[in-house]
Chains A and B, each alone.
Chain A
Amino acid sequence: QSVLTQPPSASGTPGQRVTISCSGSSSNIGNNYVYWYQQFPGAAPKLLIYRNNQRPSGVPDRFSVSKSGTSASLAISGLRSEDEADYYCAAWDDSLSGEVFGGGTKLTVL
């Protein structure tokens, strides 16, 4: 069971806006930055968004994040077929002295 809670799946049609939630506690999301990673089948994860909506080079601004208290969410607008992947949230946990991940959300573009 993951420390951060994500829905196992999400879906949308091309052009739609989809959000993926990530719920934690005061020792992780509530007190630290949340990061999001994207993983395609058979590939290594890659950093998608960091800190306050910062995106690595090459990540489109269709991806954005928000955070409120002990929860965070990833929003993907203008959904495209190439967005179909697994998405993970992560944060440092002060109580565990370690990084914790969400269980991952499999995004399907219908």
Chain B
Amino acid sequence: QVQLVESGGGVVQPGRSLRLSCAASGFTFSTYGMHWVRQAPGKGLEWVAVISYDGSNKYYGDSVKGRFTISRDNSKKTLYLQMNNLRAEDTAVYYCAKDSTSLGYGSGTCFDYWGQGALVTVSS
């Protein structure tokens, strides 16, 4: 069965960096687009970024553009999110989500499996 397990969350000071990882299993990781979606405490879902199956295409939400970088290592079946210059408003549970298509963007974008989430708290 599909499993997505996030790690790397924690408490970090404003302006510092953190890298999240998402270990995938139960499907052919290298053939699907992958996303990061976050949810601030008590708030709704916010899409963060997507990467295509081969890493050649990436898109970011406006609130993280220029600060966050999504990447993947298909040989390790792992998705990453490098978060730089963190702000208090980045505090959230970060979910890794598998797309149902290889591209991960466009009309067919669909998060068919989600991880359990990793909590990132940005605070001094």
Contact = CB atoms under 8 A, between A and B. Distances in A.
Interface stretch (A15-23, A45-53, A63-71, A74-82): A45-53
Give the contact-size bracket for chain A: 20 to 34
Interface in B91-124: 95, 100, 105-117
Interface of A is mostly: strand
Nearest to A44: B114
A19 to B, nearest CB: 19
Contacts of B72: none
Interface of B: 35, 37, 44-47, 50, 59-62, 95, 100, 105-117
Given A2-B44, A47-B110, A99-B105, 14 more contacts: A32-B106, A32-B107, A33-B107, A35-B110, A37-B111, A44-B115, A44-B117, A45-B114, A47-B111, A50-B112, A56-B112, A98-B62, A99-B47, A104-B45
